[in-house]
Chains A and B, each alone.
Chain A
Amino acid sequence: MDLPVWQALYEELGDQGFLPIAVALDTGGPAAAREWIEKAHATYPCLIDEHHVVARLYDMVNVPNAVWIDEQGRIVRTTEPAGAGDGFRTMDRTTFRMAPEAIEDGRRRREVYTNALRDWVQHGAASRHLLDATEARRRLAGPSEEHALAAAHFRLGTWLFEHGMREAAQRHFHAAQRLRPESWAYKRQAWALEQPGLAGGPPFWAAVEALGERRYYPEIEMEGMPR
């Protein structure tokens, strides 16, 4: 869980104008998210997004996904995995152990990513990690018609879930997943609501295996980031 990492960065850089805002994509609401926020002793804003509004607005498909927003409210780095990589896929499904090189890869990614955040705080608009408008727009494909329809299904699914209609909710969650299969947020949220633990259980690992050579987290296009 990343909340303590962002807390440490906030303690280091908060007095220089840096502010993490963590958004829990959690239809389960505060009841689902509370434990993690309290455990992290987070003093930056930790918000609860039961309908995955931020995911829709910023075209996020997984966690952790992040966007950098400057002092004027401009997007200066577009949505991407926040330093996360695919090393977890080497995890032993019973002991939860990971291969040493996967652990090292994860450590390295996080280091590169958090150093990039430090560079931004230090150099502001001159940071080499900021994207100019052309590059930012290149990376922002934005949602397709299918993705927009998926979001409508997901929204209806959350409403049905909140009103106790769990089966109907799952039908619409499944529709969203079919329309946007690359959204792990749609998949894992639906599994978590179906049964606690399922989002990290057999269906999750089966879906990860089905990726084959494809990535779970897309490559982070950042100077110094391992490929």
Chain B
Amino acid sequence: MTVTVLWEDRETTCAGPEVGDDALWLPASALKEVSGWELKPEGACRDELCVPLPAGREAEFLRDGGREFNLSALAALLGQPQVHESTPPVWAFGEAAAARRDALRSLEAPEFTLPDLDGQQHRLSDYRGKKIFLVSWASW
């Protein structure tokens, strides 16, 4: 069974165990590629940040002797919303509202990379030093 995982802006496909509707269990070895998070003795870690798995609830996160990891439980722990479709199996894990609020209130302009019509990628920070008027529009 192959499952597609949309974790924030990352998209990966992962050969997983059977996929249920309650939670997404993945091979623990795939965790970092799928989410950017990895398991360390301190808990789930991404870059410098580590979040301990709640004491006494390890079984919600790990099974099969630690070979499988519950990505849904991690998202819930991090406050990230999750939605999915069963056929084909696709799980989308969004950004935590609190994380976005904190990022906005820092008043640092959030970084992004997007293509132009020719497929050339532009990063917002490529234009540092300008007064940037960032404006949305749409064809619709």
Max chain A Cβ within 10 angstroms of own Cβ: one of B84, B94, B122: B94
Asked whether B55 is an interface residue with its Cβ less than 8 Å from the other chain, the reply is no
Max chain A Cβ within 10 angstroms of own Cβ: one of B100, B108, B136: B136
With A75-B109, A149-B83, A149-B94 as given contacts, are A66 and B135 in contact (CB-CB < 8 Å)?
yes
* Pair A53/B9 contact, Cβ less than 8 Å: yes
Nearest residue, chain B, Cβ from A10: B133
Asked whether A8 is an interface residue with its Cβ less than 8 Å from the other chain, the reply is no
With A59-B100, A137-B107, A155-B94 as given contacts, are A25 and B137 in contact (CB-CB < 8 Å)?
yes
Asked whether B104 is an interface residue with its Cβ less than 8 Å from the other chain, the reply is yes
Max chain A Cβ within 10 angstroms of own Cβ: one of B95, B101, B110, B133: B133
Which residues on the A side are within 8 Å of B136 (C-beta)?
Answer: 22-25, 54-55, 60, 62-66, 185
Q: Which of B81-140 touch A at CB < 8 Å?
A: 81-85, 90, 92-97, 100-101, 103-105, 107-110, 112, 114-117, 122, 124-125, 127-140
Question: How distant is the Cα of A146 from the Cα of B108 in the complex, in angstroms?
Answer: 24
Instruction: Pick from A2, A17, A142, A147: contact of B137, CB below 8 A.
Output: A2
Asked whether A143 is an interface residue with its Cβ less than 8 Å from the other chain, the reply is yes
Binds B, one of A31-39, A86-94, A99-107, A211-219: A31-39
* Pair B97/A49 contact, Cβ less than 8 Å: no
* Pair B117/A33 contact, Cβ less than 8 Å: yes
Question: How distant is the Cα of A180 from the Cα of B39 in the complex, in angstroms?
Answer: 34
Asked whether B6 is an interface residue with its Cβ less than 8 Å from the other chain, the reply is yes
Determine the interface band of chain A, counting residues with CB < 8 A from chain B. Answer: 35 or more
Which residues on the A side are within 8 Å of B115 (C-beta)?
Answer: 47-48
Asked whether B70 is an interface residue with its Cβ less than 8 Å from the other chain, the reply is no
Q: Which of A184-227 touch B at CB < 8 Å?
A: 185, 188-189, 191-192, 199-200
Q: C-beta contact mask, B56-82 vs A, less than 8 Å → 1, else 0?
A: 000000000000000000000000111
* Pair A21/B124 contact, Cβ less than 8 Å: yes
Question: How distant is the Cα of A163 from the Cα of B101 in the complex, in angstroms?
Answer: 31
Question: How distant is the Cα of A72 from the Cα of B108 in the complex, in angstroms?
Answer: 9
Q: C-beta contact mask, B14-45 vs A, less than 8 Å → 1, else 0?
A: 00000000000000000000000000000000
Which A residues lie at the B interface, using CB under 8 A?
1-3, 6, 9, 17-26, 28, 30, 32-38, 45-49, 51, 53-60, 62-75, 82, 117, 120-121, 124, 133, 136-137, 140-145, 147-149, 151-153, 155-156, 159-160, 165, 168, 172, 175, 185, 188-189, 191-192, 199-200
Which B residues lie at the A interface, using CB under 8 A?
4, 6, 9, 11, 80-85, 90, 92-97, 100-101, 103-105, 107-110, 112, 114-117, 122, 124-125, 127-140
